[in-house]
Protein backbone atom coordinates (compact mmCIF):
# COMPACT_ATOMS: atom_id res chain seq x y z
CA UNK A 1 0.00 0.00 0.00
CA UNK A 2 1.74 3.16 -1.16
CA UNK A 3 1.02 6.86 -1.45
CA UNK A 4 1.53 9.20 -4.37
CA UNK A 5 3.03 12.70 -4.37
CA UNK A 6 -0.35 14.00 -5.58
CA UNK A 7 -2.10 12.45 -2.56
CA UNK A 8 0.48 13.92 -0.18
CA UNK A 9 0.16 17.36 -1.81
CA UNK A 10 -3.62 17.20 -1.40
CA UNK A 11 -3.09 16.52 2.32
CA UNK A 12 -0.63 19.45 2.57
CA UNK A 13 -3.25 21.72 0.99
CA UNK A 14 -5.90 20.56 3.46
CA UNK A 15 -3.49 20.95 6.39
CA UNK A 16 -3.63 17.21 7.12
CA UNK A 17 -0.14 16.11 6.11
CA UNK A 18 1.79 14.31 8.82
CA UNK A 19 5.38 15.57 8.80
CA UNK A 20 8.27 14.54 11.06
CA UNK A 21 11.99 15.26 10.91
CA UNK A 22 14.52 12.53 10.13
CA UNK A 23 15.71 12.75 13.72
CA UNK A 24 12.17 12.26 15.05
CA UNK A 25 11.50 9.28 12.79
CA UNK A 26 14.75 7.63 13.88
CA UNK A 27 13.42 7.79 17.45
CA UNK A 28 9.85 6.72 16.60
CA UNK A 29 10.97 3.70 14.57
CA UNK A 30 12.85 2.33 17.58
CA UNK A 31 9.55 2.02 19.46
CA UNK A 32 6.81 1.62 16.87
CA UNK A 33 5.90 -0.68 14.02
CA UNK A 34 7.45 0.49 10.76
CA UNK A 35 4.46 -0.60 8.68
CA UNK A 36 2.14 1.49 10.81
CA UNK A 37 4.48 4.48 10.73
CA UNK A 38 4.77 4.24 6.93
CA UNK A 39 0.99 4.47 6.65
CA UNK A 40 0.70 7.37 9.11
CA UNK A 41 3.62 9.58 8.11
CA UNK A 42 3.56 11.46 4.82
CA UNK A 43 6.84 13.34 4.79
CA UNK A 44 10.20 13.17 6.54
CA UNK A 45 12.24 16.39 6.50
CA UNK A 46 16.04 16.44 6.50
CA UNK A 47 18.63 19.16 6.94
CA UNK A 48 22.32 19.89 6.64
CA UNK A 49 24.52 22.94 7.19
CA UNK A 50 28.20 22.77 6.29
CA UNK A 51 30.95 24.22 4.10
CA UNK A 52 30.31 23.27 0.47
CA UNK A 53 33.17 24.60 -1.63
CA UNK A 54 31.64 23.88 -5.05
CA UNK A 55 29.11 26.67 -4.66
CA UNK A 56 28.70 30.02 -6.33
CA UNK A 57 26.32 32.57 -7.71
CA UNK A 58 25.43 33.93 -11.17
CA UNK A 59 24.87 37.70 -11.08
CA UNK A 60 23.49 40.16 -13.59
CA UNK A 61 24.23 43.80 -12.80
CA UNK A 62 22.07 45.52 -15.43
CA UNK A 63 23.67 47.64 -18.16
CA UNK A 64 25.84 50.66 -17.50
CA UNK A 65 25.50 53.75 -19.69
CA UNK A 66 27.33 53.61 -22.01
CA UNK A 67 27.36 49.83 -22.08
CA UNK A 68 30.25 47.70 -20.88
CA UNK A 69 31.13 44.06 -21.59
CA UNK A 70 32.77 42.07 -18.78
CA UNK A 71 33.54 39.12 -21.08
CA UNK A 72 37.22 39.05 -22.00
CA UNK A 73 38.03 41.70 -19.38
CA UNK A 74 38.27 41.53 -15.62
CA UNK A 75 35.76 41.82 -12.80
CA UNK A 76 36.18 42.10 -9.04
CA UNK A 77 33.64 42.09 -6.22
CA UNK A 78 35.14 43.55 -3.04
CA UNK A 79 38.50 42.77 -4.63
CA UNK A 80 37.64 39.11 -5.25
CA UNK A 81 37.96 38.10 -8.91
CA UNK A 82 34.82 36.73 -10.58
CA UNK A 83 34.36 34.96 -13.92
CA UNK A 84 34.83 37.16 -17.00
CA UNK A 85 33.82 34.68 -19.66
CA UNK A 86 30.14 35.50 -20.09
CA UNK A 87 28.34 38.17 -22.05
CA UNK A 88 28.01 41.84 -21.10
CA UNK A 89 26.99 42.18 -17.44
CA UNK A 90 26.75 38.54 -16.35
CA UNK A 91 29.28 36.92 -14.07
CA UNK A 92 29.71 33.95 -11.75
CA UNK A 93 31.56 34.11 -8.48
CA UNK A 94 32.63 30.90 -6.78
CA UNK A 95 33.01 30.32 -3.04
CA UNK A 96 36.74 29.59 -3.30
CA UNK A 97 37.67 32.73 -5.32
CA UNK A 98 40.54 34.55 -3.58
CA UNK A 99 41.76 38.15 -4.05
CA UNK A 100 44.85 38.36 -6.26
CA UNK A 101 46.83 40.11 -3.53
CA UNK A 102 45.90 37.60 -0.79
CA UNK A 103 49.13 36.10 0.60
CA UNK A 104 47.49 32.63 0.36
CA UNK A 105 49.83 30.05 1.90
CA UNK A 106 53.03 32.05 1.42
CA UNK A 107 53.13 32.14 5.19
CA UNK A 108 51.66 28.75 5.98
CA UNK A 109 48.98 28.33 7.18
CA UNK A 110 47.31 31.27 5.41
CA UNK A 111 44.23 32.72 7.08
CA UNK A 112 42.14 33.36 3.91
CA UNK A 113 40.15 36.10 5.58
CA UNK A 114 37.92 37.07 2.65
CA UNK A 115 36.92 35.36 -0.57
CA UNK A 116 34.04 34.43 -2.86
CA UNK A 117 32.05 32.79 -0.06
CA UNK A 118 32.19 36.02 1.93
CA UNK A 119 31.07 38.08 -1.08
CA UNK A 120 28.02 35.82 -1.35
CA UNK A 121 27.35 36.14 2.40
CA UNK A 122 27.65 39.95 2.17
CA UNK A 123 25.21 40.02 -0.77
CA UNK A 124 22.65 37.94 1.13
CA UNK A 125 23.08 40.11 4.24
CA UNK A 126 22.22 43.18 2.11
CA UNK A 127 25.67 44.76 2.51
CA UNK A 128 27.23 47.00 -0.12
CA UNK A 129 29.76 45.39 -2.45
CA UNK A 130 32.42 47.22 -4.46
CA UNK A 131 32.08 46.29 -8.15
CA UNK A 132 35.05 46.92 -10.42
CA UNK A 133 35.11 46.06 -14.11
CA UNK A 134 37.93 46.52 -16.60
CA UNK A 135 36.93 46.02 -20.23
CA UNK A 136 38.62 46.51 -23.60
CA UNK A 137 35.77 48.41 -25.25
CA UNK A 138 33.92 47.60 -28.46
CA UNK A 139 31.74 49.59 -30.87
CA UNK A 140 28.61 48.26 -29.15
CA UNK A 141 30.03 48.15 -25.60
CA UNK A 142 32.35 51.20 -25.54
CA UNK A 143 32.81 51.68 -21.78
CA UNK A 144 36.15 50.46 -20.43
CA UNK A 145 35.78 50.73 -16.73
CA UNK A 146 33.22 50.65 -13.94
CA UNK A 147 33.82 51.25 -10.26
CA UNK A 148 30.69 51.44 -8.15
CA UNK A 149 28.91 50.01 -5.14
CA UNK A 150 26.07 47.54 -5.55
CA UNK A 151 23.61 45.71 -3.34
CA UNK A 152 21.72 42.48 -3.95
CA UNK A 153 18.43 44.34 -4.31
CA UNK A 154 19.88 46.45 -7.18
CA UNK A 155 20.71 43.41 -9.31
CA UNK A 156 18.49 41.84 -11.95
CA UNK A 157 19.16 38.21 -11.14
CA UNK A 158 21.26 36.56 -8.46
CA UNK A 159 21.08 32.81 -8.89
CA UNK A 160 22.86 30.50 -6.50
CA UNK A 161 24.06 27.57 -8.58
CA UNK A 162 26.14 24.98 -6.80
CA UNK A 163 27.53 22.20 -8.98
CA UNK A 164 28.35 19.92 -6.06
CA UNK A 165 26.53 20.10 -2.73
CA UNK A 166 25.00 17.76 -0.23
CA UNK A 167 27.48 14.89 -0.33
CA UNK A 168 25.62 11.72 0.57
CA UNK A 169 28.30 10.69 3.06
CA UNK A 170 31.78 11.94 3.81
CA UNK A 171 35.24 11.04 5.05
CA UNK A 172 36.27 11.33 8.66
CA UNK A 173 39.61 13.13 8.43
CA UNK A 174 42.59 12.26 10.63
CA UNK A 175 46.31 12.97 10.57
CA UNK A 176 48.81 10.15 11.16
CA UNK A 177 51.89 12.30 10.52
CA UNK A 178 54.02 14.02 13.14
CA UNK A 179 52.99 17.60 12.35
CA UNK A 180 49.73 19.54 12.41
CA UNK A 181 48.04 19.81 9.01
CA UNK A 182 45.54 22.41 7.79
CA UNK A 183 42.84 20.98 5.56
CA UNK A 184 39.35 21.67 4.25
CA UNK A 185 38.30 19.29 7.03
CA UNK A 186 39.76 21.69 9.58
CA UNK A 187 42.95 21.59 11.62
CA UNK A 188 44.16 18.05 12.19
CA UNK A 189 46.55 17.50 15.05
CA UNK A 190 49.43 15.03 14.60
CA UNK A 191 49.32 11.34 15.46
CA UNK A 192 45.54 10.96 15.53
CA UNK A 193 45.11 14.06 17.70
CA UNK A 194 41.56 14.57 16.46
CA UNK A 195 39.07 13.23 13.92
CA UNK A 196 36.90 15.68 11.97
CA UNK A 197 33.71 14.80 10.14
CA UNK A 198 31.30 16.77 7.99
CA UNK A 199 27.78 15.40 7.84
CA UNK A 200 24.55 15.79 9.76
CA UNK A 201 24.37 11.98 9.94
CA UNK A 202 20.79 10.90 10.61
CA UNK A 203 19.49 14.30 9.47
CA UNK A 204 21.55 14.45 6.27
CA UNK A 205 19.32 14.45 3.15
CA UNK A 206 20.98 11.86 0.91
CA UNK A 207 21.76 9.43 3.73
CA UNK A 208 18.01 9.14 4.26
CA UNK A 209 17.16 8.35 0.65
CA UNK A 210 20.20 6.18 -0.15
CA UNK A 211 19.09 5.15 -3.66
CA UNK A 212 17.63 8.58 -4.54
CA UNK A 213 14.18 7.06 -5.05
CA UNK A 214 12.46 10.36 -4.22
CA UNK A 215 15.15 12.97 -4.92
CA UNK A 216 15.82 13.80 -8.58
CA UNK A 217 15.74 16.54 -11.19
CA UNK A 218 13.29 19.23 -10.13
CA UNK A 219 12.95 18.28 -6.46
CA UNK A 220 11.93 21.39 -4.54
CA UNK A 221 14.07 22.00 -1.47
CA UNK A 222 15.00 24.41 1.34
CA UNK A 223 18.09 26.25 0.06
CA UNK A 224 19.84 28.88 2.13
CA UNK A 225 16.60 29.91 3.84
CA UNK A 226 14.63 30.22 0.59
CA UNK A 227 13.24 27.60 -1.76
CA UNK A 228 15.44 26.07 -4.42
CA UNK A 229 15.54 23.07 -6.69
CA UNK A 230 17.71 20.12 -7.52
CA UNK A 231 19.12 21.14 -10.92
CA UNK A 232 21.05 18.01 -11.88
CA UNK A 233 23.04 15.30 -10.20
CA UNK A 234 26.13 16.84 -8.66
CA UNK A 235 29.66 16.62 -10.03
CA UNK A 236 31.73 13.61 -8.90
CA UNK A 237 28.47 11.64 -8.58
CA UNK A 238 29.46 8.09 -7.73
CA UNK A 239 26.48 5.79 -7.03
CA UNK A 240 28.43 2.53 -7.24
CA UNK A 241 30.44 2.85 -4.00
CA UNK A 242 30.35 0.15 -1.33
CA UNK A 243 27.14 0.12 0.71
CA UNK A 244 26.39 -1.22 4.15
CA UNK A 245 23.64 -3.85 4.70
CA UNK A 246 20.95 -1.17 5.03
CA UNK A 247 21.76 0.12 1.52
CA UNK A 248 23.51 3.28 2.69
CA UNK A 249 26.80 4.20 0.96
CA UNK A 250 29.80 3.81 3.26
CA UNK A 251 31.63 6.65 1.43
CA UNK A 252 31.04 9.82 -0.63
CA UNK A 253 28.64 8.51 -3.37
CA UNK A 254 25.83 10.80 -4.58
CA UNK A 255 25.98 14.59 -4.79
CA UNK A 256 23.49 17.21 -6.00
CA UNK A 257 23.69 20.31 -8.18
CA UNK A 258 21.37 22.90 -6.65
CA UNK A 259 19.81 26.11 -7.88
CA UNK A 260 17.88 28.87 -6.17
CA UNK A 261 17.13 32.59 -6.03
CA UNK A 262 19.75 34.28 -3.83
CA UNK A 263 17.34 37.14 -3.16
CA UNK A 264 15.13 34.77 -1.13
CA UNK A 265 17.98 33.53 1.03
CA UNK A 266 18.82 34.48 4.60
CA UNK A 267 22.18 35.27 6.20
CA UNK A 268 21.57 32.63 8.91
CA UNK A 269 21.76 29.92 6.25
CA UNK A 270 24.38 31.25 3.78
CA UNK A 271 27.74 32.06 5.33
CA UNK A 272 31.28 32.63 4.09
CA UNK A 273 33.94 30.40 5.59
CA UNK A 274 37.69 30.78 6.08
CA UNK A 275 39.50 27.48 6.40
CA UNK A 276 42.99 28.16 7.72
CA UNK A 277 45.69 26.93 5.35
CA UNK A 278 43.10 25.83 2.78
CA UNK A 279 41.02 28.71 1.45
CA UNK A 280 37.56 30.19 1.50
CA UNK A 281 34.26 28.37 1.14
CA UNK A 282 30.53 28.84 1.49
CA UNK A 283 28.48 27.29 4.27
CA UNK A 284 25.12 26.32 2.80
CA UNK A 285 21.96 25.31 4.62
CA UNK A 286 19.93 22.69 2.76
CA UNK A 287 16.77 20.80 3.64
CA UNK A 288 15.10 18.16 1.49
CA UNK A 289 11.65 16.69 2.08
CA UNK A 290 11.35 12.95 1.57
CA UNK A 291 7.84 11.76 0.71
CA UNK A 292 7.04 8.47 2.43
CA UNK A 293 5.70 6.72 -0.66
CA UNK A 294 6.15 3.24 0.79
CA UNK A 295 7.56 1.20 3.66
CA UNK A 296 11.07 0.93 2.16
CA UNK A 297 11.40 4.71 2.05
CA UNK A 298 10.26 5.03 5.64
CA UNK A 299 12.75 2.39 6.74
CA UNK A 300 15.60 4.33 5.11
CA UNK A 301 14.57 7.67 6.59
CA UNK A 302 14.51 6.06 10.04
CA UNK A 303 18.10 4.75 10.03
CA UNK A 304 19.74 6.20 13.16
CA UNK A 305 23.24 7.65 13.58
CA UNK A 306 24.47 4.37 15.07
CA UNK A 307 23.79 2.56 11.78
CA UNK A 308 25.31 5.16 9.45
CA UNK A 309 29.03 4.63 8.81
CA UNK A 310 31.75 6.92 7.46
CA UNK A 311 35.26 5.96 6.30
CA UNK A 312 38.27 7.23 8.26
CA UNK A 313 40.96 8.68 5.97
CA UNK A 314 44.49 9.90 6.69
CA UNK A 315 44.72 13.43 5.28
CA UNK A 316 48.50 13.60 5.75
CA UNK A 317 49.08 10.96 3.08
CA UNK A 318 46.21 8.80 1.79
CA UNK A 319 43.90 11.67 0.85
CA UNK A 320 46.40 13.97 -0.93
CA UNK A 321 48.03 11.04 -2.73
CA UNK A 322 44.79 9.25 -3.69
CA UNK A 323 45.91 5.91 -2.30
CA UNK A 324 42.32 4.86 -1.74
CA UNK A 325 43.28 3.48 1.67
CA UNK A 326 40.92 3.90 4.61
CA UNK A 327 41.65 3.26 8.27
CA UNK A 328 38.30 1.66 9.01
CA UNK A 329 34.81 2.96 9.61
CA UNK A 330 33.06 4.72 12.45
CA UNK A 331 29.38 5.51 12.88
CA UNK A 332 27.82 8.92 13.39
CA UNK A 333 26.65 7.95 16.87
CA UNK A 334 30.30 7.62 17.94
CA UNK A 335 31.35 10.73 16.05
CA UNK A 336 28.63 12.84 17.67
CA UNK A 337 29.48 11.59 21.16
CA UNK A 338 32.70 13.63 20.96
CA UNK A 339 35.01 10.61 20.93
CA UNK A 340 35.50 7.78 18.48
CA UNK A 341 37.73 4.73 18.53
CA UNK A 342 40.15 4.79 15.61
CA UNK A 343 43.09 2.38 15.28
CA UNK A 344 42.42 1.29 18.87
CA UNK A 345 42.82 4.85 20.15
CA UNK A 346 40.11 7.05 21.62
CA UNK A 347 40.17 10.16 19.44
CA UNK A 348 38.32 13.45 20.14
CA UNK A 349 35.97 14.39 17.29
CA UNK A 350 34.88 17.68 15.76
CA UNK A 351 32.39 18.47 13.03
CA UNK A 352 32.57 21.03 10.25
CA UNK A 353 28.84 20.58 9.78
CA UNK A 354 26.49 22.07 12.39
CA UNK A 355 23.98 19.56 13.74
CA UNK A 356 22.16 22.31 15.59
CA UNK A 357 21.59 24.21 12.34
CA UNK A 358 20.66 21.00 10.49
CA UNK A 359 17.98 20.42 13.11
CA UNK A 360 16.75 24.01 12.73
CA UNK A 361 16.49 23.55 8.95
CA UNK A 362 14.59 20.23 9.17
CA UNK A 363 12.22 21.88 11.67
CA UNK A 364 11.73 24.95 9.48
CA UNK A 365 10.96 22.83 6.43
CA UNK A 366 8.50 20.82 8.53
CA UNK A 367 6.76 24.06 9.51
CA UNK A 368 6.63 25.28 5.91
CA UNK A 369 4.96 22.02 4.85
CA UNK A 370 2.49 21.73 7.72
CA UNK A 371 1.66 25.41 7.25
CA UNK A 372 0.68 24.68 3.64
CA UNK A 373 3.43 26.89 2.18
CA UNK A 374 5.49 24.18 0.57
CA UNK A 375 4.25 21.54 -1.88
CA UNK A 376 6.26 18.55 -3.01
CA UNK A 377 7.39 18.05 -6.60
CA UNK A 378 7.37 15.01 -8.89
CA UNK A 379 10.81 14.22 -10.30
CA UNK A 380 11.30 15.32 -13.90
CA UNK A 381 14.04 12.68 -14.18
CA UNK A 382 15.72 10.23 -11.82
CA UNK A 383 19.48 10.16 -11.38
CA UNK A 384 21.85 7.28 -12.26
CA UNK A 385 21.37 4.21 -10.08
CA UNK A 386 24.16 2.07 -8.56
CA UNK A 387 23.91 -0.50 -11.37
CA UNK A 388 23.67 2.09 -14.17
CA UNK A 389 27.37 1.83 -14.98
CA UNK A 390 27.84 5.55 -14.17
CA UNK A 391 31.54 5.99 -13.37
CA UNK A 392 33.60 8.35 -11.26
CA UNK A 393 36.92 8.97 -13.03
CA UNK A 394 40.34 10.20 -12.04
CA UNK A 395 42.18 12.78 -14.16
CA UNK A 396 44.17 11.46 -17.14
CA UNK A 397 47.61 12.95 -16.79
CA UNK A 398 50.89 12.89 -18.65
CA UNK A 399 49.76 12.61 -22.26
Partner 1 sequence: MERKFVIHFPKTLVDKPIMSDLVKRYSLDFNILKAYVTPEEEGTLVLALQGTEENVDTAVKDLKEMGARIQSISSDIRMVRELCTDCTACIPLCPVDALYRDKEDFSVHFDAEKCIACGLCIKACPTKALVFTI
- 111 vs 240, beta carbon nearer partner 1: 111
Residue 178 touches partner 1, criterion: CB under 8 A:
yes
- 168 vs 196, beta carbon nearer partner 1: 196
Stretch that binds partner 1, among 30-38, 69-77, 271-279, 372-380 (CB under 8 A): 271-279
- E-strand ranges in 61-99 read 74-77, 80-81, 90-94
Neighbours of 43 (CB within 10 A): 25
Stretch that binds partner 1, among 83-91, 205-213, 273-281, 384-392 (CB under 8 A): 273-281
CA distances from 326 to 246, 310, 317 (A): 21, 10, 11
The Cα 73–Cα 84 span in angstroms is 6
Q: How many CA atoms lie within 13 A of 63 on its CB side?
A: 11
Residue 276 touches partner 1, criterion: CB under 8 A:
yes
Least spacing, CB of residue 354 vs partner 1, in Å: 4
Which residues, numbered 35-74, are part of the site for partner 1 (CB under 8 A)? Answer: 49-51
* Nearest CA-CA partner of 252 in 341, 189, 164, 315: 164
Residue 334 touches partner 1, criterion: CB under 8 A:
no
- 86 vs 125, beta carbon nearer partner 1: 125
* Nearest CA-CA partner of 163 in 90, 272, 256: 256
The Cα 106–Cα 72 span in angstroms is 29
Beta bridge partners of 48: 286
Least spacing, CB of residue 58 vs partner 1, in Å: 24
- 180 vs 240, beta carbon nearer partner 1: 180
Among 187, 215, 221, 361, binds partner 1 (CB under 8 A): 187
Least spacing, CB of residue 293 vs partner 1, in Å: 30
Residue 109 touches partner 1, criterion: CB under 8 A:
yes
Size of the site for partner 1 (CB under 8 A): 38
Stretch that binds partner 1, among 165-173, 229-237, 299-307, 343-351 (CB under 8 A): 343-351
The Cα 120–Cα 94 span in angstroms is 9
Is 53 known to be catalytic? no
Cis-peptide, bond into residue 233, ω within 30° of zero? no
Catalytic residue among 53, 140, 198, 322: 140
Name the helix (H) or strand (E) containing 60: strand 56-60
Among 281, 301, 316, 364, binds partner 1 (CB under 8 A): 281
Binding mask 196-225 for partner 1 (x = CB under 8 A): x-----------------------------
Among 105, 194, 235, 382, binds partner 1 (CB under 8 A): 194
Beta bridge partners of 287: 222
The Cα 353–Cα 360 span in angstroms is 13
Task: Report the relative pairing of strands 309-314 and 172-174 from DSSP bridges.
Answer: parallel
Residue 355 touches partner 1, criterion: CB under 8 A:
yes
Residue 189 touches partner 1, criterion: CB under 8 A:
yes
What strands, in cross-sheet order, belong to the sheet with 80-81? 80-81, 74-77, 129-134, 145-150
The Cα 128–Cα 125 span in angstroms is 9
Residue 179 touches partner 1, criterion: CB under 8 A:
yes
Stretch that binds partner 1, among 60-68, 173-181, 236-244, 252-260 (CB under 8 A): 173-181
The Cα 352–Cα 354 span in angstroms is 7
Stretch that binds partner 1, among 87-95, 186-194, 237-245, 307-315 (CB under 8 A): 186-194
Point out the residues that are catalytic: 140
**Site for partner 1, rule CB under 8 A:** 49-51, 109, 111, 113, 178-180, 182, 186-187, 189, 193-196, 271-276, 281, 283, 338, 347-357, 359
Amino acid sequence: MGKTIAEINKKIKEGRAVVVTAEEIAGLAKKQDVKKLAAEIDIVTTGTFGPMCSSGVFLNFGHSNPRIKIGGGKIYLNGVPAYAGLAAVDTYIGAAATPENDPRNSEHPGSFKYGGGHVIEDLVAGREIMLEINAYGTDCYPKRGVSTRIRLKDLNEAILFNPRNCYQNYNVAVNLSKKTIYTYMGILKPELGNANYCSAGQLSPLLKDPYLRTIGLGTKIFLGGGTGYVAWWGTQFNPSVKRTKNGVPAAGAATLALIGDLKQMKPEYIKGASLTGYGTSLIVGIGIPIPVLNEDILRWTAIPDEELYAPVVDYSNDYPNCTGKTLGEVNYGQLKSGKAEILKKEVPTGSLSSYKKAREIADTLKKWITGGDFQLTENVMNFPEPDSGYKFRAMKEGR
